[in-house]
């Protein structure tokens, strides 16, 4: 871990120790890293200080309901916040309803690993070389001298496993494995955790998956794959937007494909776009053009327009990226 991040963590811990009303939050459309990270840090701060609050800014996907103390994530409207800790969040907009509270807080600590993070905090611990925010939270908890118990370890393992694609993505480093080795030593049940995260797909989600795959188009010498999920599909399958999880990685896994793109219709004038790549293309750059962001191999953005318009715009940028 580089020295600068190390010092910044000491500053963050000092703020945590000095502050009375601490609120932890992460991004809308939460994933395993955001939920695992806020729960793990929340439990650690609770051990240290006896109280903590974790803000709910969006619905928690069913995949993560098994996590210990998930009920700690709640809505709050108390604006008396001394320290607001944002985790896994590239900018303030991503905090959703949490942005209002962050702006009222006396101090903001921003802990993240997105390369596109805009340093919105008073203290910014941004480490793009970390595979997951969960890795940074692990280090902070160790430095806080709080014992990592099975509950905290379960949340950290979930954060790191999901953000590394089960330790397959190129963001996975030997440090990732050293941290996870420590988590396993604590005695977490990885079989149970993995069944909960990866082997519990609902029938609704499965049917949505099939409908979405039916829209598959392969373009640019079979290097680009694009699929669409519409509001009609969500409705007819009784599925939610979060149920699109897993579609894009399936499409990316086609042998000839370098870039996979999923268009999720929000309404007739808004489309959420997710992009993944394998080796050559930096998809965070593509998403940056539409004010989105993320990582080199996984990024997202919102395009205001119809599915048809969004597809045209994003394909143009993907095509440029191949030149």
Residue closer to Mn ion by CB (options 164, 244) is: 164
Site for Mn ion in 115-134 (CB under 5 A): 133
- Binding Mn ion by CB under 5 A: which of 39, 67, 88, 205? 88
Q: How far is the CB of 3 from Mn ion (least distance, A)?
A: 23
Q: Could you tell me if 84 and 91 are in contact, meaning their C-beta atoms sit under 8 angstroms apart?
A: no
- Binding Mn ion by CB under 5 A: which of 23, 25, 33, 131? 33
Separation between Cα atoms, residue 299 and residue 277, nearest integer Å: 9
Candidate segments 52-60, 159-167, 200-208, 309-317, binder of Mn ion by CB under 5 A: 159-167
Give me the sign of the Cα torsion angle 123, 129, 131, 136: negative
Candidate segments 60-68, 157-165, 255-263, 301-309, binder of Mn ion by CB under 5 A: 157-165
Separation between Cα atoms, residue 39 and residue 148, nearest integer Å: 12
Residue closer to Mn ion by CB (options 31, 317) is: 31
- Binding Mn ion by CB under 5 A: which of 163, 211, 243, 245? 163
Q: Could you tell me if 315 and 226 are in contact, meaning their C-beta atoms sit under 8 angstroms apart?
A: yes
Candidate segments 33-41, 98-106, 209-217, 261-269, binder of Mn ion by CB under 5 A: 33-41
Residue 228, classed as helix, strand or coil, is strand
Site for Mn ion in 219-248 (CB under 5 A): none
Q: How far is the CB of 72 from Mn ion (least distance, A)?
A: 20
From its phi and psi, is residue 166 left (phi > 0), alpha (psi between -120 and 50) or beta?
left
Q: Could you tell me if 114 and 294 are in contact, meaning their C-beta atoms sit under 8 angstroms apart?
A: yes
Separation between Cα atoms, residue 221 and residue 234, nearest integer Å: 31
Q: Which residues of the shown chain bind Mn ion in the complex (CB under 5 A)?
A: 33, 88, 133, 163
């Amino acid at each position: 871990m580089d020295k600068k991040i190390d010092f910044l963590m000491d500053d963050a811990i000092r703020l945590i120790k000095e502050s009375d009303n601490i609120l932890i939050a992460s991004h809308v459309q939460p994933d395993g890293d955001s939920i695992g990270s806020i729960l793990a840090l929340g439990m650690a701060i609770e051990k240290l200080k006896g109280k903590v609050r974790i803000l709910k800014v969006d619905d928690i996907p069913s995949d993560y309901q098994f996590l210990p103390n998930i009920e700690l994530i709640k809505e709050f409207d108390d604006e008396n916040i001394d320290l607001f800790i944002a985790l896994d969040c590239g900018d303030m907009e991503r905090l959703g309803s949490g942005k209002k509270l962050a702006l009222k807080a006396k101090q903001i600590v921003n802990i993240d690993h997105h390369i596109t993070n805009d340093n919105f905090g008073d203290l910014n611990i941004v480490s793009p070389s970390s595979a997951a925010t969960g890795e940074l939270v692990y280090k902070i908890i160790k430095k806080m001298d709080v014992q990592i118990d099975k509950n905290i370890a379960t949340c950290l393992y979930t954060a790191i496993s999901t953000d590394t694609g089960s330790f397959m993505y190129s963001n996975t480093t030997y440090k990732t494995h050293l941290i996870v080795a420590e988590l396993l030593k604590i005695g977490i049940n990885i079989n149970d955790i993995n069944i909960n995260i990866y082997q519990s797909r609902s029938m609704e989600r499965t049917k949505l998956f099939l409908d979405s795959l039916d829209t598959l188009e392969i373009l640019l010498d079979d290097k680009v794959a694009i699929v669409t999920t519409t509001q009609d599909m969500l409705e007819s399958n009784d599925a939610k937007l979060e149920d699109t999880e897993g579609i894009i990685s399936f499409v990316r896994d086609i042998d000839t494909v370098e870039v996979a793109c999923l268009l999720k219709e929000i309404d007739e004038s808004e489309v959420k776009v997710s992009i993944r790549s394998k080796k050559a293309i930096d998809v965070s750059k593509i998403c940056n053009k539409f004010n989105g962001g993320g990582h080199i191999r996984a990024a997202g953005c919102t395009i205001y327009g119809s599915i048809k318009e969004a597809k045209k715009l994003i394909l143009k940028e993907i095509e440029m990226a191949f030149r």
